[in-house]
Homo-oligomer: A and B are copies of this chain.
Amino acid sequence: MEEGQSGQDPGGPPAGPTSAGAGDRPVPVMADVARLAGVSAMTVSRVLNGHPSVRPETRARVLEAIEVLDYRRNSAARALATRRSETIGVVAFDTTFYGQAACVRGVEHAAREAGYFVSIATVKVVDERSIREAADCLVAQSVEGLVVVTPRASALQELREQTVGVPMVVAGGSPHSGLPTAAADQEAGGRRATRHLLFRGHETVWHVAGPEDWDDARGRLRGWQSALADAGAIEPRVLRGDWSAASGWRAGVELAKQRKVSAVFVSNDQMALGVILAMKQAGRRVPEDVSVVGFDDIPEAAYFDPPLTTIRQDFEELGRRSVGLLLQAIEIGTARSSPAVIPEFVGRLSTADAGRWAGARS
């Protein structure tokens, strides 16, 4: 354009810098494809974007040129022009937890299927600062939306205020966070687990809960309470763990001291593993003396000794659904929570009827 209308080199100004390189261009751009195919860059763009109004013949020519040149569209340029990054961000906590990892995997697959990239930021500690940092980091990368995997409710309150602009959904956690959520009905799961033990004849059921500020832990605890209340059973003091087997073991040591404990609902499978070990170490057999129910159904649960009766959550499905929600929020502008999925009871061998000698309470 500086040369305006004057000269003899129409291709000069626009194509100049692009075509200048003698021929050693390492990475081809759209103009290169266009030239090879004998069309304009715009047409190449249309082909790439599946725009309908391109003659099949032209399209084929362009596709061939793309193939020949091994051309790949520059996503930064595209993002700049469209103002869309086609990327969603995932904030996750400890992805070494099976549930988190499976959920992230679900997110990743669903997102990729929908044509989105996935950027991830994990936080080591679950406090507002870290979470905001992670979210900021993702937002700085122009993600179009955020999936927060299994958070603490408190942390979310913070987030909602801060992450201006980009839609957010929650995978796991409580459906009451005020954000669209894809979650399993933890309460129903907790109720189911507890009821199972009650049906087996146990007078009451003890509970090893997860961290107080995790919605999942809270929901399971509520379910346990309500099942107990329904059955008119007394509600024993709650023990707290941090989801780790180690914390479960510590709780199990406490529990084993009390002879009247005959049934324990543990808020996840890892802690259940710890509880079982502690029980056995204290000389109490599982399930003969003490029945244990876990939660999550991690792949190893079936190979615990005894194989663990537990409540299965489909974490991957959660991840998938949350992406569905997020895409709605991004594309339609609104999304409401997905209906809670009901976790499934998985009966194995870690529970038995009360009575053999479990009847000997207090």
Contacts and interface: CB of A to CB of B under 8 A. Distances in A.
A1 interface: no
Interface footprint category on A: 35 or more
A270 to B, nearest CB: 6
Interface in A233-250: 244-246, 248-249
A119 B120 contact: yes
Contacts of A11: none
Interface stretch (A12-20, A56-64, A96-104): A96-104
Nearest to A303: B245
Given A95-B104, A108-B122, A141-B75, A70 B164 contact: yes
A344 to B, nearest CB: 18
A244 B80 contact: no
Residue of A73, A79, A244, A307 most packed against chain B (CB within 10 A):
A79
A165 interface: yes
A142 B277 contact: no
14 contacts: A73-B140, A76-B77, A77-B80, A95-B101, A95-B105, A96-B299, A108-B120, A108-B121, A112-B121, A112-B137, A117-B119, A270-B299, A277-B305, A280-B305
Interface of A: 26-27, 70, 72-77, 79-80, 85, 87, 94-96, 98, 101-102, 104-105, 108-109, 112, 117-122, 124, 137-142, 164-165, 244-246, 248-249, 270, 273-274, 276-277, 280, 299-300, 302-305, 307
B303 A277 contact: yes
A299 B77 CA distance: 44
